[in-house]
Structure 1
C-alpha cells in the first residue's frame, strides 16, 4: 500500500480547512455574509464623513453614533427572543430590507443636499434596531448550517472574511468617499444587502423548535435563566464589561490622541499599528482552519490578556515598529478568543435558546462601551496618558486572567466528534 503524495497531502489539508463548505446551507450563507461584510466594511467611514460634510463638528458625529449604539442596546434582548421564535434566515433578510431603506434614505438625502443631523440620528436609530435583531440571529443560525465537526472551520472562515475586509475595507472606503463622496459608498452598501437577500433565500433550514405560545417577557426570563446557569458564560461577560470599556477608551480614544500628539508614533504610524492588529487576526483565522482549539475559553482568555501588551507599549514607548508587533500579537490573541467564544456558545447552549443567550452576552458586553469612551476622554485631560495606559494594561490583563480561576472557564473542552480539524 503506497502512501499519499505531497500533492495529495496538500489537497487533503486544504479540504479539511474548508470542510464547512461541504454543507450546502453554509455555502450560501457564507456567500451572502461575505458580500455584506465587504459592502458594509466602508459604512463607518462613509457615515462619519457624511455627518462631517453636513456639520463639521465632532459632537454631531457623536450624536449619530450614540443613536445607533443606544438603539442597538435597547433592542438586542428582543432581537434574541424573535430569533429563537422565527426562522433566522428570514429575520436577517427582513432586517436587510430595513437597512436598505435606511441606508438608501441617507444616500438620497446626501445626493439631494437635504440631509440634516436630526434626520441622520433618526435613521441611525432604525439602523441600530435592525442590527440588534440581526446579531442574535447570526449567532444562532451558524450551528444550524453545518455539522459539529465543521463548526470551528465555519467560524474561522467567517472571521477570515471579517478580518480581511477590516484591513482593506477602510482603504477602499477612503478612496471612494474622497473621489465620489459618501453617498456613493452608501449606495454600494445597499447594493450588497440587496444581493444578499435572494442568496439567503437558498438557505433551507427546519422550522424553529420554539414557535411562541408564551409572552416575550417569559422568553426573556428563560433566556436569562440559561445565561445565569452557566458560570463560564456570565463570568466572561462580566469581565468583558470592564475589558471593552478599557478597549474603546484606551485604544479608541487615547490611542489616536497620542498618535496626533507624539511624533514617535504619528497619525500614519497609528494606521500601520491598526493594520498590524488586523493582520494578526487574519493569520490566526488561517491557523484555526486547520488546528483544533481544544480548550476554547482557557486559550481564548489568555489570548485576550495579550491585548495588555500594546496598551502598555502605547503608554511606555509608542514607537511604530514595537507597537505594531505588540498589536499583531494582540490581534492573534483576540481571534483565538472570538473563535473559542463562538464555539463555547454554540456547543454548550441549546440551539432553540442560543439567540436569547447571545443577546444577553451582547447586552452585557456592549452596555458600558459608551461609558468607557466618556471616562477615558475625561482621564486624558486629568492625568498623564502614559500613566492611564500602563494602569489600564495592568487592569486589563488582571481581569482577563482572573476568569481562569473559574473552574468551568479553565476546564471547558470540546464535545466528542468536534476535534477533527486535522482529520
Structure 2
C-alpha cells in the first residue's frame, strides 16, 4: 500500500485531522475509541467488583488479573505485530475485548458475580490489550507519510492524554448513575466500535520485516 501523505502545511491538530486522508480518519477514530475503552476498563471493573462483592480481596484480585498479563505480554504483542497484518491484530483484539467485557457485564447484570470467572475474563482482556498498542504504533507509519509523523503523533498524544483523564471519570459516573454492569456494557461497546473503525483502513500487506529470525528470539532481545 502506498503511504498516504498528510501535508506538513497543516501543523495544527484540528487542521491536521481535517486535511488527513479518509483511511487515517478511520484509524484515528478507532484508536480513540479503543483507548477510551482501555482507560474505562480498570476503573469500571474495580468499581463494579466493589459494588458486587463483599470480599475485600476481590478488589485486588480482579484488577491484577487484567494488568499483570497485559504487562507480561507486551513484548510478545510487539513481535506478533511485526509478523502479522496489524489491521487483523487490531480488529481481532478489539473484538475479543468486546466479548470478554460483555461476558463480565452479563455475570454482573444477572447477579452471577464470582471473583475467579471474572478474573479469568479480565486476564484474557489484559492479554488482548497487550497486542493492541504495538499494532497501533506499527500501523501508523503505513498510513502517514514520514513528513507528517511528528504532527500526527502530537495529535494522537494530545487525544491520548485527554482520554486518560476522561475515561476513568466517565466509568465512575456510569457506575454511580447506573451500576457496574452497565458501565462494563458501555466499555464492551467501545471495543466493538473500535473494531469496526479499525477494519476500514486497507491492509498494508507487510507481514514480516526480520527475515527468518526465530519467533522466541525477539522477545528475549527486547
TM-score with structure 1 setting the length: 0.46
**Quick one: which of 155, 170, 174 aligns to 2:153?**
155
CA contact (8 A) 2:31 2:136 kept: no
Q: Deviations over 1:224-274 (max 9, x none)?
A: 55xxxxxxxxxxxxxxxxxxxxxxxxxxxxxxxxxxxxxxxxxxxxxxxxx
Aligned to 2:87: 89
2:12 corresponds to 1:17: yes
Aligned to 1:118: 116
Q: Secondary structure at the match of 1:210?
A: coil
2:25 corresponds to 1:30: no
Aligned to 2:48: 50
In the alignment, structure 2 segments of 5+ residues that lack a partner are 1-6
Q: Give how far 1:153 is off.
A: 1.6
Q: Give how far 1:17 is off.
A: 1.9
CA distance in 1, matches of 2:204, 2:169: 40
Q: Give how far 1:39 is off.
A: 4.0
Aligned to 2:215: 219
CA contact (8 A) 1:36 1:189 kept: no
Q: Deviations over 1:73-96 (max 9, x none)?
A: 333222222211111011010011
Aligned to 2:57: 59
The structure, 1 or 2, with the larger RCO (C-alpha pairs under 8 Å, 6+ apart) is: 2
CA contact (8 A) 1:54 1:117 kept: no
CA distance in 2, matches of 1:53, 1:148: 48
Q: Residues 25 and 15 of structure 1: is their aligned pair in 2 closer, same or farther, counting only changes over 3 Å?
A: same
Which is higher, the Rg of structure 1 or of structure 2? 1
Q: Give how far 1:169 is off.
A: 2.7
CA contact (8 A) 2:81 2:89 kept: yes
Q: Residues 77 and 171 of structure 1: is their aligned pair in 2 closer, same or farther, counting only changes over 3 Å?
A: closer
Q: Secondary structure at the match of 1:61?
A: helix
2:154 corresponds to 1:127: no
Aligned to 2:171: 173
Q: Secondary structure at the match of 1:93?
A: helix
TM-score with structure 2 setting the length: 0.84
How many residues of Structure 1 are paired with residues of Structure 2 in the alignment? 213
- Quote the RMSD (CA, aligned, Å): 2.6
CA contact (8 A) 2:48 2:181 kept: yes
CA contact (8 A) 2:75 2:219 kept: no
Q: Residues 130 and 154 of structure 1: is their aligned pair in 2 closer, same or farther, counting only changes over 3 Å?
A: same
Q: Give how far 1:14 is off.
A: 8.6
TM alignment of 1:6-405, pairs within 5 A:
15-18=10-13, 19=16, 21-210=19-208, 214=212, 218-222=214-218, 360=222
